[in-house]
Structures are given as structure tokens and as C-alpha cells.
Amino acid sequence: MPALFTGVIASLLLVANTLFWAPLLLLFALCKLLMPSAALRKPFSKLVDGCANGWISCNSGWMKLTQKMDWQIRTPANLSTQQWYFVVSNHQSWVDILVLQHVLNGRVPLLKFFLKQELIWVPIMGMAWWALDFPFMKRYSKAYLDKHPEKRGQDLETTRKSCEKFQTIPTSVMNFLEGTRFTQTKHDQQKSAYRHLLQPKSGGMAFALSVMGGRFNSLLDVTIHYPDGIPTFWQFLQGQMPRCQVVIDEKVIPTELLEGDYQNDSDYRTRFQLWVQTLWQEKDELLESLRTDD
């Protein structure tokens, strides 16, 4: 099919899928909101997550119908939907989200993404993300914080409240540590120490781990590589992403990093940052290897 026609069909299927599942999800979320206790809210949390998993499964369905995609996926064999995971990934395109959902759906619990606060205003999806308890983060510039010191730590408080909701139901907490999509311009502006990645931000991850204590079973380190170039979302819908390589490594979270005060304990903060930098260096080398093999 012509690329434009493929894109239109894929877009219509995506919209139809969203319009089917979103009202059900919001209905169950409203019921959950009205429940007076955590015990009564738990069944509705599972129904809300079930709607999201249904939406993801249907997305995978229309992707198979409209895309001739060569998926090259390497994943651990022992993943479980009954465990808790912290998931990190490099970030290059909006397509990353559909890729992550496609490869992990049914293997681990529903991914709960850290999102920028502005995304809550996205029609339909913003309300769905809110209903799913996705953490919405508001980032402040250093200059703004200097003028409004009372705002310091507010994004981490949001993280704490969101992660507390994940204590009772198996959850995969997802964070793009780079905080934004990779572009060469951003890479150059940062003077990043990595060839194919932006500098990672550790604060949100450290706070989530400290709030959840030992609940997380492991870290899932996901590396996404697009051998034919990073696609835009529209290019993806048009079927112009012929190949996608995804490598998922399960790693142990060091016990000494599961609890600590990232904001006020400089020793803990240094150790945590060194661990994340090591993860990122390994990811950078993997990306270099994947690019060399193209």
C-alpha cells in the first residue's frame, strides 16, 4: 500500500482503539475514585490496568496488520507479570512508547511512565494517564528555583505520592532517564559524555527506589535502536520503520541503593550517580555495537 494510505489506516485504527478503551478506563477510574478504602479500590485498579493492557494489545494488532516490521527483540526468559520492576530506556522518538508497550505487554506488569506535567492536557490520553496513576512531573529551571525556593523537591514529592500507589499491585515503573528525546543538537549542547545518549538524570529514579524500598525485584534496562534512522510518529504510522532492535537486560539493583536520601546525603547521591553512569556507559557501548552491525 502507498505510505500515505497506510498512515491514514493506521491512524484511524489507533483512534478507534483509543475511543473504545478510554471510556471504559475512565468509568472504572471514577468508580475507583469513589471507593472509601484501599481494599475496595484495588479491584478497580486492576480493571483500569486491564483496559490499558487491552488498548496496548489492540495497538499491537493494528501494527501487525499495517506494518511489515522486522522486530529483533532480545529479552530475559523469566520475566513475570506478578513482579515489580523499575524500567529505564534510551529515548529518541514518540515511537519509543509504542515499542516499549509492544515488547513488554504480557511479559511484565503495565508500564507506568514518568510524564511531563504538560501532557495531562493531551485530549483523552491525558485523562487516561491520570486515571492510571502515571506520575506527572513538573520540571523547574535553576533560575526559577532560585527565585522560588519553595518549589524545590516538589517533583520528587509527586514521585513519592505516585509510587506509594504502586505498593499493593505489581507494577513496572518506567523512566526515560535522559528526560527528553535525543537529538544531535541537544547532545552537542550538553557536551554529553556518551556517543549516542544524553546525560542521564538520577533524581527521580533514586526517589522512586527509596519510596518503594525493596519492592522492586530488579531493573530492566531497555535499549532501543532504529537501524534505518529514528522515525517520527507519522513515519512509523506510514510503515516507514522497517526494522527495530530492542535489547532488554535484567539487572540487580544494588541493595545499598534501595534506600537513601538523594537530596541531602551527598555520599549516597554520588554512589547512585556513579551506578547510573555505569549503566549508561554500558548502554552507549551496546548502541555502538548495534550500529556497527547494521
C-alpha span between 1 and 10 (Å, rounded)? 12
Which residue type occupies 258? Answer: L
C-alpha span between 7 and 4 (Å, rounded)? 5
CATH number for region 70-293: 3.40.1130
pLDDT digits (tens, 9 = 90+) for 90-118: 999 999 999 999 999 999 999 988 777 77
Comparing 36 with 211, which gets the higher pLDDT? 36
The pLDDT value given to residue 67:
85
The pLDDT value given to residue 17:
96
Work out whether the CA dihedral 68, 71, 77, 82 comes out positive or negative. negative
- pLDDT of 164 over the 80 cut: no
Give the start-to-end residue ranges of the domains of the chain.
70-293
pLDDT digits (tens, 9 = 90+) for 171-184: 899 999 998 999 99
pTM: 0.88
- pLDDT of 138 over the 70 cut: no
- pLDDT of 148 over the 80 cut: no
Cβ-contact 134, 29 below 8 angstroms:
no
Cβ-contact 181, 93 below 8 angstroms:
yes
The pLDDT value given to residue 207:
82
pLDDT digits (tens, 9 = 90+) for 190-224: 999 999 999 999 988 888 888 776 788 899 999 99
Name the band, by pLDDT with cuts 50, 70 and 90, for residue 146: low
